Structure 1
């Protein structure tokens, strides 16, 4: 092998080694995707914990009173609309023609009424004829009012301010009277629906204080009160439906979100509590959790206390605001680079 060939092979080997080394480094530094939860205090005394779902306070499927072909839909899913805003229209041609005809009949009846009144005042009209003239005018006015209402009903307006949750028709489709066209929800206030077991219903009262935590919103907490207490049990689960009303001026709480609700007369006594499944035990029989610190996984030893529903109180080791890994913790070790989902 001549010197030039040797140098070429050597250079190629260096490039390949560098490439492999780069790929190896890329594999080494690839962060592990984990889900974290910010540790927050929860009520631990005199309260009950339940899982719940967010519902809109007002939820209506809007429809046309007068059917017809939809000519325009002015909103899209997700749009915020104000009370009284025009949402959709159906073709008004046939309804307008009916209204114009009713209006013409009413005008004729009014003209006849004026002429007959003069005759009646002069004594040239029998009482029965006069009653018939009055009746025809009232009937014509009533028919015109109905036709006018039908014409107005060709336009669909928002009965309250809210968001368009569903659009069920498009322009060109036929909408029968009463057929849902738009689903409109209001979330200025929301209700948290929880299922309460029969043996815990005695501790639930309308007006009772409640604390709601939403994992999807970084465990955002908000206060509320029990607004509805069901009286009929679900035949399968033997649980009762209870609803908690919560103010939602920032519109962060959205229908369908899962949350944790604490109901009780004493919600002021709080402590940090974590999901039971994130608390682990090492080979030395010491309890710990994985926390997220500076983009890396850190093993944090904790002292656990009583159970609160599906959570366990942390007596020491974790403070409010600490980020705890609650998903993907089985993939990490001390110092593992992580990427929070």
Structure 2
């Protein structure tokens, strides 16, 4: 008897276990898997949204003005530099030697005996001028004597010849002095100056400095390699101010003006909106997009905004404050709005008063409190009291 009693009790226990398992299985099969979101207090900016990508307002691809072997590169990707800082130095030993050679040649040419030659020419001109004046006076006197028949024709011609010779000598002395004065820096000196100027320019160009303040985003060469004007050695971007270019429809472009403040959202950085300034509005539409390119500058003191980030520009924006939930969580039926509240693993339908939407989120003005959780997916499968499984 005891044996059969034990067998019966064991069978009853097994049946109870399977019965409970069956109930649990049936409960799970009836549940709906949903994702959820918690309601939060905040501000929502609404309006027409156009998108674009951030760019640095100022950037520079730095190329050398001459070819040369790289000696030093004190910067790398991520380095912050100020305008005028050293980026790359090329091997300049030969260039420095050339500067010394041409400087010595120029100094030698400038210290030639030109001053002594000039003194000699000035003395020769003085003597020639004196002889010319004497010959001219004698020539005029001879003409008068010839006219008075007091001088023979032969004597007059001799006086005239001396006058012509003295005049020619005087003019030659003037020309020689003028040539020497104009040749104070003769051709050899000019050549030396040109050579020295070029050598000094090459030496200066061997030191490549930052044309703007910014951050190094690319370094395309290493010490020992050959640099040339055909390829940038370093790329710089100034992140203090970034710009986003958005394509604005013809219906909104006339609502904008240069200098106008405008809201910009960069979700990769923060949910809060940045304030930008409209700086440029195209006067003609893009032939491909049929929209008007508009540029908006944004101050970026912390350099959190990076070129290439996606940005949304809000046109005619308005702010509304309230409880915010994802737009997918809101359902409408018969001119009423409601959400599926998640409470103790069940879905509870609650009517709410909805405000503005930015296309992603919506403001709930009445019927929902901060921290309450709402279902976001599979809303059509829910019913009052329906069990839910959170995804």
Contact map agreement 2:325 2:363 (CA 8 A) in 1: no
Contact map agreement 1:40 1:321 (CA 8 A) in 2: no
Structure 2: gaps (5+ residues): 1-33, 123-175, 380-386
Going from structure 1 to structure 2, the CA distance change for 1:93 and 1:232 (only over 3 Å counts) comes to farther
Partner of 1:26: none
Partner of 2:177: 126
More strand by share: 1
Deviation at 1:216, TM superposition (A): 0.9
SS of residue paired to 1:156? strand
The reply to whether residue 174 of structure 1 matches residue 223 of structure 2 is: no
Partner of 1:230: 282
Partner of 1:258: 310
Deviation at 1:182, TM superposition (A): 0.8
Contact map agreement 2:74 2:87 (CA 8 A) in 1: yes
Describe the superposition over 1:169-214 as per-residue Cα deviations: whole angstroms up to 9, x where unpaired.
2223222125211110001111122121233222221111111122
Aligned-pair RMSD on alpha carbons?
Answer: 4.2
Deviation at 1:269, TM superposition (A): 4.2
Distance (whole Å) between structure 2 residues aligned to residue 135 and residue 37 of structure 1 = 88
Distance (whole Å) between structure 2 residues aligned to residue 300 and residue 141 of structure 1 = 91
Partner of 1:13: none
Distance (whole Å) between structure 2 residues aligned to residue 154 and residue 35 of structure 1 = 61
Distance (whole Å) between structure 1 residues aligned to residue 371 and residue 235 of structure 2 = 40
Distance (whole Å) between structure 2 residues aligned to residue 121 and residue 107 of structure 1 = 21
Going from structure 1 to structure 2, the CA distance change for 1:100 and 1:252 (only over 3 Å counts) comes to same
Deviation at 1:335, TM superposition (A): 7.5
The reply to whether residue 197 of structure 1 matches residue 249 of structure 2 is: yes
Deviation at 1:79, TM superposition (A): 1.3
Describe the superposition over 1:157-176 as per-residue Cα deviations: whole angstroms up to 9, x where unpaired.
11222111111222232221
SS of residue paired to 2:298? strand
Contact map agreement 1:272 1:320 (CA 8 A) in 2: no
* Bigger shift: residues 76-85 or 312-321: 312-321
Contact map agreement 2:84 2:210 (CA 8 A) in 1: yes
Contact map agreement 1:305 1:312 (CA 8 A) in 2: no
Distance (whole Å) between structure 2 residues aligned to residue 133 and residue 58 of structure 1 = 49
Deviation at 1:305, TM superposition (A): 3.6
Going from structure 1 to structure 2, the CA distance change for 1:241 and 1:323 (only over 3 Å counts) comes to farther
Partner of 1:99: 99
Distance (whole Å) between structure 2 residues aligned to residue 37 and residue 95 of structure 1 = 70
Deviation at 1:106, TM superposition (A): 1.9
Partner of 1:116: 114
TM-score by length of 1: 0.70
Going from structure 1 to structure 2, the CA distance change for 1:215 and 1:117 (only over 3 Å counts) comes to same
Distance (whole Å) between structure 2 residues aligned to residue 81 and residue 316 of structure 1 = 50
More helix by share: 2
Deviation at 1:33, TM superposition (A): 11
Deviation at 1:260, TM superposition (A): 1.6
